[in-house]
Amino acid sequence: MLDQITGMRVFARVAALGSLSGSARALGMSQTMATKHVAALEEKLGVKLLHRTTRKITLTEAGRRYLESVERILTELAEAEATAAAERIEVTGILRVNAPVSFGVREIAPLMAEFSRLHPALTVDMGLNDRMVNLVEEGWDVAVRIGRIHDQTLIARKLAPCRLLVAGSPAYLAERGKPRTVADLSSHNCLGYTLSSTLGPHRWSFGVDGSVTVPIRGTFQASNGDALVAAALAGQGLVYEPTFLLGNDIRARRLVALTLDHPPLELPGVFAVYASNRHPPAKVRAFIDFLVQRLGPVPPWDRALD
């Protein structure tokens, strides 16, 4: 006889992913077994929970109603298990973390030695890339993301604030002059971040809510913030980047932060995110708690910057 709780977990994952094969991979079982679990639930309940076609899987009306109860039950079960086990859980296994390249190299990797000393039975596998990964389908336990979290299937916990500044090298500013207003940027060589719509190669957004948009242009653009900072340090132009990228060079006076007539866009912050359809395991909670303690509320990259 198949376990009903496991069947509920399979069903909830299928509902989230719209795929039996994806659900099976996420739960570490075969697609045949995942199918059997859903079929057993349908037989027990006497209703059809899923519409299956060759292209996709959707919920029936009964399935949508059942999902609401299943999600509540699984959440309460996970919370009960976590509460009961809180005093005896040892953080072990492999923690798969995904982070943006520059932030991961600059801010997370240097902390991993301390984290490993605290949790010697845990191995951290950190993937670095700037694309938006799918945590469930790609098997990441937790991801670090900067800016607004649009995916409603993720639970986000803020790790630290993230400020933006416009900056240029002393040599560039001596040659081209300091812009005083955001409109002045149109006459400067602005180095754009190609993965952003607000800091991109064609327009930059200012004001707390990003409501002030100015067209910009430049002779260099890149999909990595460190590459843009390197070009700015060499005197090529102005950059509009987070202070975790600019802070050290501003403190060392290799770059000069500019004050314009509109404040920089205000980013929501740096977040740790994980899938909302399961209670985070001890290793995820330990990692997020550790980052919160080390990075916030005044992050190291902002200290002694003002």
Q: How confident is the model at residue 52, as a pLDDT?
A: 81
Please say if the pLDDT value at position 86 is more than 50: no
Domain count, the chain: 3
Q: Which of 85, 105, 126 represents a domain boundary (last residue)?
A: 85
Select the more confidently predicted residue: 150 or 167. 167
Is residue 153 domain-shared with residue 273, that is, in the same domain?
yes
- Average pLDDT on 148-175 reads 92
Is there a domain that residue 147 lies in?
A: yes
Is residue 157 domain-shared with residue 168, that is, in the same domain?
no
Is there a domain that residue 217 lies in?
A: yes
Q: Render pLDDT for 9-56 as a digit per residue (tens, 0 to 9).
A: 888 888 888 888 888 888 888 889 888 888 888 888 899 998 887 677
Rounded Cα distance, 75 and 277, in Å:
8
Containing structural domain, residue 252: 164-258
Q: How confident is the model at residue 87, as a pLDDT?
A: 44
Is there a domain that residue 74 lies in?
A: yes
Is residue 190 domain-shared with residue 224, that is, in the same domain?
yes
- Average pLDDT on 94-115 reads 96
Rounded Cα distance, 126 and 99, in Å:
7
**Mean pLDDT, all residues of the chain:** 90
Is residue 66 domain-shared with residue 125, that is, in the same domain?
no
Select the more confidently predicted residue: 36 or 165. 165
Strand pairing of 238-242 and 190-193? parallel
Rounded Cα distance, 188 and 11, in Å:
55
The pair phi, psi for residue 102, each rounded to 5°, is: -65, -45
Q: Of the candidates 45, 132, 82, 6, which has an alpha carbon nearest to the alpha carbon of residue 286? A: 82
Is residue 68 domain-shared with residue 141, that is, in the same domain?
no
Is there a domain that residue 117 lies in?
A: yes
Is residue 106 domain-shared with residue 183, that is, in the same domain?
no
The pair phi, psi for residue 100, each rounded to 5°, is: -60, 150
Is residue 253 domain-shared with residue 169, that is, in the same domain?
yes
Where residue 80 sits, what CATH number does that domain have?
Answer: 1.10.10.10
Is there a domain that residue 263 lies in?
A: no
Rounded Cα distance, 190 and 169, in Å:
12
Q: Render pLDDT for 199-255 as a digit per residue (tens, 0 to 9).
A: 999 999 999 889 999 999 999 999 999 999 999 999 999 999 999 999 999 999 999
Is residue 217 domain-shared with residue 251, that is, in the same domain?
yes
Please say if the pLDDT value at position 85 is more than 60: no
Is residue 216 domain-shared with residue 288, that is, in the same domain?
no
